[in-house]
A and B are shown apart, each in its own frame.
Chain A
Amino acid sequence: MNTIWALAKIVVLEMIRRKDFYVLFILTVLLTGMAGSVNLFNDHSIVRYLKEICLLLIWVASLVIAITCTARQIPMEREQRTIFPLLAKPVTRAQFLLGKFLGCWVATGLALLVFYLFFGVVSASREQHWPVLNYLQAGFLHWLMLGIVIAATLLGSIVFAAPSSNGTICFVCVAGILLLGRHLNKVALGLAEPLQSLLYGIYFVIPHLELFDVRDLITHNWDLIPGGVMALAILYAATYTAFLLTAAWLVFRRRPLN
């Protein structure tokens, strides 16, 4: 575990010292600030729109951070040849992958924390209340979802050599799942065989990332999600993450390093 944690810390340090996160955060602040400065007909429901815009920006920014940070990890290690002195030490390839995963997940989690703090400040400034538990639940589910995305991107970074192609493919897949994933079964109903079975197959195989999207919970101040549902969500995310990481390890363990 020490080795995995040592590797993870390097990834976190890299994110702190790169400008990506700061640029995305400033962009989110500016866009939210601009949206907040508009006051249409003194309408109080404008607060909800502002919260929706802010959360959408946070979701987009977090996906950009998670995918770009993960997609460059292994290709950069190979391109800059830092992987050689590292794997010449008592580090297994499984530890290397787990370290990279943990680092990207923790780094993205820290970024999420800053983003949700900002959201809390924006929300509290307009509504004068701060439902911390709801924020924590939404943020935690968001982070679980990013775990699946990071594991998938890590697998992609071993299959596709270029970080840009991997990043683009991951963005398209994640956006596709988030926007269309829940509708695939309904679309399948109207199709003829074998397309129907194929689409059903895809529906049951893909990780339903949209299940982790509980933005409405904090936009509309709904009640907390029950503990049992949260436990199921954790199990669901852990299963997909473990499956994707195992697939990444199976591909990576026999792959030549150069």
Chain B
Amino acid sequence: METLTIDNLRVEYRSRAVGDPVKTAVRGLNLRVAQGEVFGFLGPNGAGKTSTMNVLLGFVPPTSGTARLFGVDVREPIARQRIGYLPEQTYYYKFLTAEELLRFYAEIFQIPKAERTQRIDAVLKLVELDHARTRQIKTYSKGMQQRAGLAQALINNPDLLILDEPTSGLDPIGRMKVREIIQRLKSEGKTVFFSSHELGEVETVCDRIAILHQGELKTEGRVSDLLRQHGANLEQIFLKIIGHPLQP
């Protein structure tokens, strides 16, 4: 069963200034992500990854084409009931504690009261923030804030997680913890769709990847197949596909 479906997606941004050309961020993108997959969405800066994610999350309407989550058009708010999203830069209401933040998001998902506390305890334990649950988020380190972000993404026990560069700006221990969490979610049968510039990490955790460049899908496939096909590591494959000269 497909969790995420994108058909002929085109995203254009019109400039407010008269005479400025329309900027095409995504051109005719087709993508399928199956249930239980860890899918890496790669591309250099400005490739159209964030625009695609913005469409999936309902922040930007597609210029043409469709995007569906669990078969529901992403323009319907209910399509987001079963997803968890971790943005690249995690900023949350700093005057709240982690527990209050999670309670707020749990209310948004209308998780029953009896289940709410259990869920909050479970995710705080999973991201190892149990000891700091009553501290205001403004007192957290960057790594702790990122883990609080991951906790809010998991509060509704989502079937699909959309992570935008989840390890960006984290120290090696923080990265390892996020990686462990992704692998744990994978073992629970969750679908993870994430963008990252950390290709070594993508190679370790992803089942399949897609590489986007200048708004177009350049390649898509299983990581193991691509590695065998090109006889190189993922970084070399990535540079070759986007047309960047390889270092000797």
Q: Which of A2-10, A172-180, A183-191 contacts B (4 or more CB under 8 A)?
A: A2-10
B187: A residues at CB distance < 8 A? none
B59: A residues at CB distance < 8 A? 84, 87-88, 256-258
Knowing A14-B93, A18-B95, say if A89 contacts B110 (CB, 8 Å). Answer: no
B153-187 residues at the A interface, CB under 8 angstroms: 153, 156, 162
Knowing A2-B110, A81-B91, say if A90 contacts B60 (CB, 8 Å). Answer: no
The size bracket of the interface on B is: 20 to 34
A85: B residues at CB distance < 8 A? 85-87, 90, 92, 105, 149, 152-153
Q: Is B96 an interface residue (CB 8 A)?
A: yes
Q: Is B78 an interface residue (CB 8 A)?
A: yes
The answer to whether B92 and A89 have CB atoms under 8 Å apart is no
Minimum CB–CB distance from B25 to chain A (whole Å) comes to 12
Minimum CB–CB distance from A96 to chain B (whole Å) comes to 10
Minimum CB–CB distance from A254 to chain B (whole Å) comes to 8
A132 to B32, CA, bound (A): 66
Minimum CB–CB distance from B242 to chain A (whole Å) comes to 25
The answer to whether A87 and B57 have CB atoms under 8 Å apart is yes
Q: Is A91 an interface residue (CB 8 A)?
A: yes
The answer to whether B149 and A89 have CB atoms under 8 Å apart is no
Knowing A13-B100, A256-B60, say if A3 contacts B93 (CB, 8 Å). Answer: no
Q: Is B245 an interface residue (CB 8 A)?
A: no
The answer to whether A89 and B107 have CB atoms under 8 Å apart is no
Minimum CB–CB distance from B128 to chain A (whole Å) comes to 20
The answer to whether B91 and A6 have CB atoms under 8 Å apart is no
Set B81, B91, B107: member contacting A82, Cβ < 8 A: B91
Q: Is A125 an interface residue (CB 8 A)?
A: no
Minimum CB–CB distance from B94 to chain A (whole Å) comes to 8
Q: Is B80 an interface residue (CB 8 A)?
A: yes
A18 to B81, CA, bound (A): 32
A residues at B contact (CB < 8 Å):
2-3, 5-7, 9-10, 13-14, 17-18, 80-82, 84-92, 256-258
What are 12 A-B contacts defined by CB distance under 8 Å?
A: A17-B95, A81-B91, A82-B91, A82-B93, A84-B85, A85-B87, A85-B90, A85-B153, A87-B59, A88-B58, A90-B109, A256-B60
